[in-house]
Chain A
Amino acid sequence: MLEEEIRNLIAGERAVFIELANKISPEVNRKVHIMASVIEKKKIEGITEIVPTYRSLSIYYDPLKIELEDLLEKLGEIKNSSEEIKIPSPRVIKIPTVYGGEYGPDLEFVAKHNSLSQEEVIKIHTGRDYLVYMFGFSPGHTYLEVDERIATPRLKTPRVNIAAGSVGIGGKQTCIRPQEIPGGLRIIGRTPLKLFNPDKEPPVPFLPGDYLKFNPISEEEYLKLKNR
């Protein structure tokens, strides 16, 4: 597992970060999630929470239950073991999205900015599968890498409110907003899917390692799905 690149970083009195590399790549991220599931399966006494991110794992622990040295030793064993575990094969989750109009007020801007037609922007946005690297920022929120051809800078002044389900572009990323919150994303569409549901376990409809595929729908279909 990339032995020479791995670093352990102390992050306060209750966390150790295992940093596998210093880059964003699907391969590194896959290793992060495999390692997270191996550690979870070991059920090491004293580990309270594991937060996998792009290229590192944050291991939260209770120093009253496990000493740092013991923890590092146990984690070291896991890093060095050749144990291969099966993680669920990635799924492709369809994200039905209505583009443009009142649901995507910035579609026109994104098109103009990139010298494309609105139809071309939709075609490019729906034309690839997006790897879910991680969740973060807010409940159910995930960052996806967008095609360079439709990358667009964020709004200089964030909107006070962006509707839940809004699909937007900010720089080289595209995101779906699970909650109604302020933000500077260029909004190009909206999905009727509920992306965070605290009454469900897990509270999210897809997991890191899955792929998302935006699927264009009409306003009629949007309303039908929304009210279902």
Chain B
Amino acid sequence: MSTPILEVLEPGLLTTVQDSGRFGYQKYGVPVSGGMDTFSLKIANLLVANSINEGVLEITGLGIVKLKILNNTAVALTGADLTPMIDTSPLPMWRATEVKKGKILSLGGAKRGFRAYLSVAGGIDIPLVLGSRSTYCKAKIGGIEGRPLRKGDIISSFLPGQSLEEIARRYLPEDSVPDLPEEIEARVIMGPQDDYFKPEGIQTFLNSWYSVSPESDRTGYRLRGPRITHKDKTDIITDAIPLGAIQVPGDGLPIILMADRGPTGGYPKIACILSVDVDKVGQLKPGDKIKFKKIDIKEAHKILQVENGKLLKINNILNEKSTAPAKKRYRVIVEGETYEVTVEEMPG
């Protein structure tokens, strides 16, 4: 059962459907895509009792977005504070809210952060493309026809896993809400090609503030600041590019590779940012500042464990407040026939 939930009255400059990403196809040249701030994306899903990787709207803090609610639903908004309103009242963030048919949800004016995530109860009902609902606009795959939302688009949802009333009780405890600073220190693991740089180049990289250039997008964040000097070669034999890798082309200015990066590239990568800090990068806007701090791989894995523990705890807290088990709904296409499948999580 699919229900029309939102009609796009104003799409903003870049609003796309994203989930946690499209994995397993990088070897065919397919970018992972997915949310630029996956923590906020996952929380948006958990708040409306969706499974953690459902499709949500990623709304960039540029322009005005207006969405008409076509049927009663529950929504949650996380990530950037883009001054969200329901009709003329502010819509509280980081919690689920029941919204009635006919209301207008609007956003505009970035107060804090750069990308907001809007989930709807049940998750956005669009087909999976190569296992994901994420939009990759350059190759027109995933999302709504592989493109950003347009005026007139209708977005439908699967059936919610719980009653709207129950969902509307879910909120994220205050101390778990991330602050989205305009200046961040991103932790990095050096390499895989840090041996392409002079010691003074590495020093420059680790001791300078860089600012986000306006030519940054979902593919990469271009940075402005002191130039990093290579030893001699400025390119490598093309190899893979992990999320958050920082490549330094011949001009010495670093580029952070983000969700829509090509799976491979030919510039040396001086370091890679920890995934939890890549989420923070995804909330930077042009002009914001970033600095890098070197840590080792063991430390990185400890941090990852701690952060994952926090996410599990949040999930538990949210589910304690409601008793019904989370249901996942899938649309499965077998030989051209579409089936709705519901999977219920077993307790314990």
Q: Do A and B come from one complex?
A: yes
Partner-B contacts on A (CB < 8 A) = 9-15, 17, 19, 22-24, 36, 48-56, 58, 60, 63-64, 67-68, 134-143, 178-179, 181, 196, 198, 202-204
In the bound assembly, the distance between CA atoms of A188 and B59 in angstroms comes to: 40
Whether B238 is near chain A, meaning CB under 8 Å from some CB there, is yes
A17 touches B192 (CB 8 A): yes
Known: A63-B304, A68-B301, A138-B138. Contact between A10 and B192, CB under 8 A?
Answer: yes
Name the 7 nearest CB pairs between A and B, nearest first. Answer: A12-B272, A136-B264, A58-B240, A9-B192, A135-B29, A11-B192, A13-B300
B238 touches A14 (CB 8 A): no
Shortest Cβ distance from A197 into chain B, in angstroms? 10
Partner-A contacts on B (CB < 8 A) = 23-31, 129-130, 136, 138-141, 189, 191-193, 237-240, 242-245, 262-265, 269, 272-275, 297, 300-301, 304-305, 308
**Which B residues are in CB contact (< 8 Å) with A63?**
301, 304
Nearest CB in chain B to that of A58: its residue: B240
Known: A136-B262, A140-B28. Contact between A51 and B240, CB under 8 A?
Answer: yes
A13 touches B308 (CB 8 A): no
**Which B residues are in CB contact (< 8 Å) with A64?**
304-305, 308
A54 touches B237 (CB 8 A): yes
B25 touches A53 (CB 8 A): no
Nearest CB in chain A to that of B274: its residue: A13
Known: A134-B264, A136-B263. Contact between A11 and B28, CB under 8 A?
Answer: no
In the bound assembly, the distance between CA atoms of A179 and B129 in angstroms comes to: 16
Shortest Cβ distance from B334 into chain A, in angstroms? 13
In the bound assembly, the distance between CA atoms of A91 and B272 in angstroms comes to: 37
In the bound assembly, the distance between CA atoms of A53 and B27 in angstroms comes to: 8
Nearest CB in chain A to that of B262: its residue: A137
Selected from A53, A143, A179, the residue in CB contact (under 8 A) with B240 is A53
Selected from A12, A36, A134, the residue in CB contact (under 8 A) with B189 is A12
In the bound assembly, the distance between CA atoms of A23 and B265 in angstroms comes to: 15
A11 touches B191 (CB 8 A): yes
Shortest Cβ distance from A159 into chain B, in angstroms? 15
Q: Would you mind naming 13 contact pairs between A and B with Cβ atoms under 8 Å apart? A: A11-B245, A12-B242, A12-B272, A15-B242, A17-B239, A53-B237, A54-B239, A134-B238, A135-B263, A136-B262, A139-B28, A179-B140, A198-B141
A203 touches B30 (CB 8 A): yes
Shortest Cβ distance from A30 into chain B, in angstroms? 16
A60 touches B29 (CB 8 A): no
B264 touches A138 (CB 8 A): no
**Which B residues are in CB contact (< 8 Å) with A181?**
138
In the bound assembly, the distance between CA atoms of A141 and B265 in angstroms comes to: 12
Known: A52-B27, A139-B139. 10 other contacts (CB 8 A): A11-B191, A12-B242, A13-B272, A13-B301, A13-B304, A51-B263, A54-B237, A63-B301, A137-B264, A204-B29
